[in-house]
Structure 1
Amino acid sequence: MSVTLNPKVKKLLHEGTVIPAHPLALNDGRKLDEKRQRMLTQYYTASGAGGIAVGVHTTQFEIRDKGIDLYEPVLRLAVEEVEKVMQGQPFIKVAGVAGPTSQGLKEAETAKNLGYDLALVSMGGLSDLDEKTHLERVRTISEVIPVFGFYLQPAVGGRVFSYDFWRKFAEIPNLYAIKLAPFDRYHTSDVVRAVCESSRGKEIALYTGNDDNIVGDLLTEYRFEINRRIVTKQIVGGLLGQWAVWTSKAVELLSQVKKARSQGVIPVDLLTLGAELTDANSALFDPVNGFKGSIAGINEVLRRQGLLQTNLCLNPKERLSPGQATEIDRIYRQHPHLQDDSFVAENVTKWCSEESAKHH
């Protein structure tokens, strides 16, 4: 099997699309709820998302732990649902890959064998590695599967990388996209400039992971003078935990953004919507408590919609922070236009019955 990206997938990646970070469905006993895990994938495909990212932070890193061993099963369930629904239509399947090089390679092999298109390679939790070793690790993984780079914010286990690091990173031959999630405009700009200055600038699609600045990132055209010519670059889509909820609304939003970009006129209400989305994200991601409730916050919205049974996480310490449920109530009250509860309500019975029909 060659390590190239399917041209149709590459085209969709560069056009820009909505890629939700896929949560993990657990029952009351903190065991995998296979029925609802499949339903979630159906929700994302029905919402019009152009891909999903599985095995990422939102899916919970503990799926890899010995005794839990859910990495392969959860990746497989998502692929099965996508293949059933999409039937060969382009859909970007991204697998989260983490850990030291040996673990990363093993996960990359698993993802490739299951039919994933790209590996979102996390550089979190590897504080002992210097930048050179990080580059070697990503290069090694890219020889197994095409890579989606990932700038993870320091508050949740990431670290700051130098401009020079990203400049070399952009030259990795099998790198096709970078998720920018440093939650910091200076660091975001570093990566965009590094990609523009590289020889592979046109090959790399940029995706926002800055859940606190989604609309701003998507509307901004970056411009740099490089070797006496102007080079521009756009963040074309998002791979986001925030887009794991209210996904059909995220698809509408990206469509509005693309229209504004093509017309060269940004409606003021789109900026207001961006601020509202940031406010909503503050309730879901729990930045006031150092993002401790971020996964539980996403799960709580999906639970309220009937897509999940519980908001539980594999790690009992990962739960809603005190006052977070009240904050979620507030954003529901203040920004009702952001949520897609009616879309879910119309379809959830169908998704549920399709599940039942398959297993009887």
Structure 2
Amino acid sequence: MVIPAHPLALDENRKLDERHQRALTRYYMAAGATGIAVGVHSTQFEIRDKGIDLYEPVLRLAAEEIEKAKLDRPFIKVAGICGPTEQALAEAKLAAELGYDAGLLSMGGLANLSEQEILDRTAKVAAVFPVIGFYLQPSAGGRIFTYDFWRQFAEIPNIVAIKMAPFNRYQSIDVVRAVCNSSRRDEIALYTGNDDNIINDLLTTYRFTVNGAIVEKKVVGGLLGHWAVWTKKAVELMEEIKRCRDNREIPREWLTWNVQVTDTNAAFFDPANGFAGCIPGIHEVLRRQGLLKGTWCLNPNEVLSPGQAEEIDRMYRDYPHLHDDEFVAAHLQEWLAD
């Protein structure tokens, strides 16, 4: 599954640009993505702020476009859910009313809660709506969890998937091992959110010994802000990976492609500056393609970092096989049509 994290289209007054917001959803469907995640970090958490109040509108717009498209293939609608328990429950209920399939439950911003309290919160949300767990890297507002936490997390009914995005191999392995040791290992799908290791995550078969038996688990897809751009190429990449990952021998060229994709992510997500430009970086690529009018964010302090635009220039120069500009140019006007 290729699930882009849906950005927020704003105009020069930092108001919702409905035309380009709808165009983005149309782009992801046309590019062959198998879902979208709306109301997540890439959509900007400030959409929930009083006076901005865009959480319901952006979820509704995406749901409307998907309904109008009448796709003849599965297309998963994921809603970002965050905040204390009562807020998370309200967002889950709204997402269910709008026809969403699952909620990506953020555990960021809850530093005052113990692991057990977060497990209790998760169970309450999962009781009303299917939940995708989310291991978010600390530099983006997440926190480190123990293996025992994930072991208990995996046993919660109605946890349907976990997105691993700690940007850390040790912590990613904790999640996979915990799921493999759980009674629900066959009910929980694993998605990569590790933008620094996308291809390797998708190619890897994890293997652990559980009660004397070998248990294997694969990462079935990605739920990624990185895949909000150059999505057509991401879909093609995923199809190639699916064709080759069951082979006993994986071509060494995949290791090179992994580095190239990670290099592009560094330009888009701006780790050189603590990920300060990660949302504007995605916006800048979409702006160049015409899918956004500008790089504006709800927070006026979120802008491209010095040198970030030049790094994106380098990605276009060094990795022309990774962008989908021709595809976007051929269809842009139809996606922008009323």
Q: Give the TM-score range, shorter chain.
A: over 0.9
In structure 2, what is the equivalent of residue 109 of structure 1?
93
Q: CA deviation at 1:88?
A: 6.5
- Between the aligned partners of 1:208 and 1:225, the Cα distance in structure 2 is 22
Give deviations 1:178-217, integer Å, cap 9, x for gaps: 0000000000000000000000000000000000100010
Q: Does residue 272 of the first structure (1) align with residue 256 of the second (2)?
A: yes
In structure 2, what is the equivalent of residue 127 of structure 1?
111
Alignment of 1:137-148 (within 5 A): 137-148=121-132
- Between the aligned partners of 1:220 and 1:311, the Cα distance in structure 2 is 35
In structure 2, what is the equivalent of residue 173 of structure 1?
157
In structure 1, what is the equivalent of residue 136 of structure 2?
152
**Counterpart amino acid of residue 132 in structure 2:** F
- Between the aligned partners of 1:110 and 1:264, the Cα distance in structure 2 is 45
Q: CA deviation at 1:261?
A: 1.2
Alignment of 1:251-262 (within 5 A): 251-262=235-246
Q: What stretches of structure 1 move > 6 A for 4+ residues in a row?
A: none
**Counterpart amino acid of residue 37 in structure 2:** A
**Counterpart amino acid of residue 280 in structure 1:** T
Q: CA deviation at 1:264?
A: 2.9
TM-score, structure 1 normalization: 0.93
2:225 to 228, 234, 241: 241
User: What SS does the aligned partner of 2:109 have?
Assistant: coil
User: What SS does the aligned partner of 1:263 have?
Assistant: coil
TM-score, structure 2 normalization: 0.99
1:33 to 17, 37, 62: 17
In structure 1, what is the equivalent of residue 7 of structure 2?
23
- Between the aligned partners of 1:204 and 1:236, the Cα distance in structure 2 is 10
- Between the aligned partners of 2:336 and 2:28, the Cα distance in structure 1 is 14
User: What SS does the aligned partner of 1:238 have?
Assistant: strand
- Between the aligned partners of 1:87 and 1:281, the Cα distance in structure 2 is 30
Alignment of 1:1-360 (within 5 A): 17-87=1-71, 89-353=73-337, 355=338
- Between the aligned partners of 1:221 and 1:48, the Cα distance in structure 2 is 25
**Counterpart amino acid of residue 216 in structure 1:** N
Give deviations 1:100-158, integer Å, cap 9, x for gaps: 00100110011000000000000001100000000000100011110000000000100
- Between the aligned partners of 2:80 and 2:28, the Cα distance in structure 1 is 17
Q: CA deviation at 1:267?
A: 1.4
Q: CA deviation at 1:87?
A: 4.4
